Structure 1
Amino acid sequence: MATITDIASIAEVSISTVSRVLNYDPSLSVTEETKRKIFEAAEKLNYTKYKTKQKQKVIAPIKQQKKEISIGIVQWRIDDEELEDIYYMSIRMGVEKRAAELGCDLLKISQLDPNVIQGLDGLLAIGKFTQEKVAELHSLHPNLCVIGSNFPLDDYDSVNTDFAQATELALNHLIDLGHQKIAFIGAEESQNMYGYRRYKTPTVNTYLDMMKHYDLYDDSYFIVKENSALDVKTGEELALQALDAWKESLPTAILAANDAFAIGIIHTLTAKGIAVPEEISVMGINDISVSRYVSPPLSSVRAFTEEMGETGIELLYNRISNPSVARRIFLSTYLIVRESTGEPRKT
């Protein structure tokens, strides 16, 4: 694992600055450019490609085209927005890496100019776009791949992570440790998601299904803010509201909707003098690169974000050269246990 010293060397900043940026220290005053250098250095140094217990496989390169392929990238989170939750930054970096290997020319699209888009060979969209936006993108170009959307296919390719599996792994880890009072703190950008249930994300619905199945569900421990961003600040705010509501009836573990939320929750618990994991265990989902550097290091479920980006480019590359039936690919996840989870406190 890359160290904070390694990141500081590449980003050309102090070790203290790296540590405070990776911990989302709100009292730190640095430029967005410095934050980006640090986060991108952490991503590059901790590239997770195919790091599972399985034997590493050699991935054969796709046969090069004679003509250079031009691909436009449309991002849901752009510029400084990426720094609030670097999940999408990691996907983008995976896209850029595989595109360079394939010899593709990438163009970042900020304005949907039909004249520009129709001159490209394909479009790659990264993020949770609304159904209307996805439809608009597809109308502008027939060769489209969307990474991170949960809308049904309509003759375009898509890539996502199996977040139902990720949630199951997270909850099983906590239950195996002996936890029964497991809270969930999260948020949903509901308008950008598809589904007929009240809650749209697989993470939220899997938590509800599993906790009710094991007769462990407690409505007071279920906190979801609808139509809200999933960033560190919101995690801090919801954790504070939760503590005020729970008073002395604290859960023994909290599952956060993602790692950014988990970091915010840890901030609030620490500020309130509640030890993690001795009093409350905290579990994240995504395993973004900074999760191993927070205090305490965060237990999480790894979403292979770089591979999501690579897979999206490969799907689009193949669609351009050999159009076929639309494909939806879900990548598996992997449990990462660190110091933020432990056995439940003795009551």
Structure 2
Amino acid sequence: MTKIPQSSSRGWQRPNIYDVARRAGVSHMTVSRVLNEHPHIRETTRNRVLQVIEEMSYTPSSIARALATRRARRIGVLIDGPVQNGPNNTFRALEVAAREVGYAVSAFSISDDDASQMDSGVIELVTQGIDALCVIAPRESSLDLLRQQMTGLPTIVIKAEADAAWHTVGVDQREGARLAVQHLIRLGHRTIAHLAGPMDWFDARERTQGWRECLAEAGLSEGPFIIGDWTSDFGFEFGRSFDLGETTAVFAANDQIALGVIHGLHGRGVRVPEDVNVIGFDDLSDARHFLPPLTTVRQDFAALGELALQQIIAAIEGDTEPSHDMIQPQLIVRESTTTVAPG
């Protein structure tokens, strides 16, 4: 019987870091140090390793790097409320930023109505060999469950409020609300309603607090305050049926609510902005195409993703002291707000 050579039976395979190390007569750690341009390598050794790399057409892969550095170069991301604009855009921005520096991302989504999935999500991600955990958890109930987990991994949470347990980054939601309400006050509005998101959401609470602070600082009483969900349907019901009374402006907790408000008001003959001003939050890509184009608060999700990644890498490299950083929002003025009509 003729014995088939091992190389023939398996065909060509991409060389790995151990193949390079064997041919160069060095350890795989030495190859790793050469690849990472470590300064304390003999020049003769460096040249020999580089020559073998060229001969073998070796390209470092994420797996090879993981074997050499004991890191997977993979970040686990838990996404709470993934269908909502904020969590969805935050994840996409983080994924882009991670890819640009050679990190892969594994994600686990938690549905809006089942925060208990946090436990199974953490387990699934940890078993994939991640280097760090990033949690996009806008709800307090989700973070309460996370506090019960002991992963031992560097963890960063994306939310506007600081937290003594973890690194945190976020967009300054309270400042965004202040920008919106201050804009309405400058236009002469004195009774400003707020349609808020669910109070279990950190962002909804911070936006509500910003609304209250601005009114108090201006010596104004709080206008109508209604807690709902994040949907256009919630805004529509308000717009079509709520007795506005003295209300001349509505601060909606997001652009989708604002869209519903405008639709509901239109159906009963109330004009925006001539009769009632409407301002949103998020600056959806379609907000400039609302009728009228929507004044809103823009969140820079790309900057948030980059900042979150910086904090994740710092944590992986040993920065264990919890930190908190925030991105500043921007007021975008369009045609849904105007100076209050006299009389």
TM-score (ref. length: structure 1):
0.69
Matched, 1:287 2:283: yes
Q: Which of residues 196, 199, 215 is equivalent to 2:219?
A: 215
Change (3 A) 1:279 1:116: closer
Q: Which of residues 169, 185, 201 is equivalent to 2:195?
A: 185
Give the Cα–Cα distance (whole angstroms) in 2 for the partners of residues 286 and 312 of structure 1.
Answer: 19
Q: Identity over aligned residues, as a percent?
A: 24
| 2:153 matched residue in structure 1 | 142
Matches within 5 A, 1:305-320: 305-320=301-316
Give the residue type in structure 2 aligned to 1:281: N
Change (3 A) 1:159 1:113: closer
Give the residue type in structure 2 aligned to 1:286: D
Change (3 A) 1:112 1:236: same
Runs of 4+ with >6 A deviation = none
Give the Cα–Cα distance (whole angstroms) in 2 for the partners of residues 172 and 127 of structure 1.
Answer: 28
Give the residue type in structure 2 aligned to 1:222: P
SS of equivalent residue, structure 2 residue 134: strand
Give the residue type in structure 1 aligned to 2:224: F
| 2:130 matched residue in structure 1 | 120
Give the Cα–Cα distance (whole angstroms) in 2 for the partners of residues 336 and 250 of structure 1.
Answer: 26
Give the Cα–Cα distance (whole angstroms) in 2 for the partners of residues 103 and 86 of structure 1.
Answer: 26
Matches within 5 A, 1:186-205: 186-190=196-200, 192-193=201-202, 201-205=205-209
Give the Cα–Cα distance (whole angstroms) in 1 for the partners of residues 124 and 176 of structure 2.
Answer: 41
Task: Report Cα offsets for 1:164-190 as digits up to 9, x if no partner.
Answer: 211221122112122222222223332
Give the Cα–Cα distance (whole angstroms) in 2 for the partners of residues 202 and 113 of structure 1.
Answer: 27
Matches within 5 A, 1:89-100: 89-100=88-99
Give the Cα–Cα distance (whole angstroms) in 1 for the partners of residues 106 and 95 of structure 2.
Answer: 10
Change (3 A) 1:115 1:187: closer
| 1:298 matched residue in structure 2 | 294
Matched, 1:322 2:318: yes
Give the Cα–Cα distance (whole angstroms) in 2 for the partners of residues 116 and 280 of structure 1.
Answer: 48
> How much does 1:127 deviate?
2.8
Change (3 A) 1:336 1:237: same
| 1:260 matched residue in structure 2 | 256
- Paired residues, number: 263
Give the residue type in structure 1 aligned to 2:121: L
Matched, 1:109 2:108: yes
Change (3 A) 1:332 1:217: same
Q: Which of residues 328, 334, 340 is equivalent to 2:330?
A: 334
Give the Cα–Cα distance (whole angstroms) in 1 for the partners of residues 240 and 277 of structure 2.
Answer: 16
The structure number with the bigger radius of gyration is 2
Matched, 1:69 2:73: yes
| 2:45 matched residue in structure 1 | none
Give the residue type in structure 2 aligned to 1:223: F
Change (3 A) 1:296 1:115: closer
**Which has the higher relative contact order, 1 or 2, with Cα contacts under 8 A spaced 6 or more apart?**
1
Give the RMSD, CA atoms, in angstroms. 2.4
TM-score (ref. length: structure 2):
0.70
Give the Cα–Cα distance (whole angstroms) in 2 for the partners of residues 116 and 161 of structure 1.
Answer: 26
> How much does 1:286 deviate?
2.1
Matched, 1:277 2:273: yes
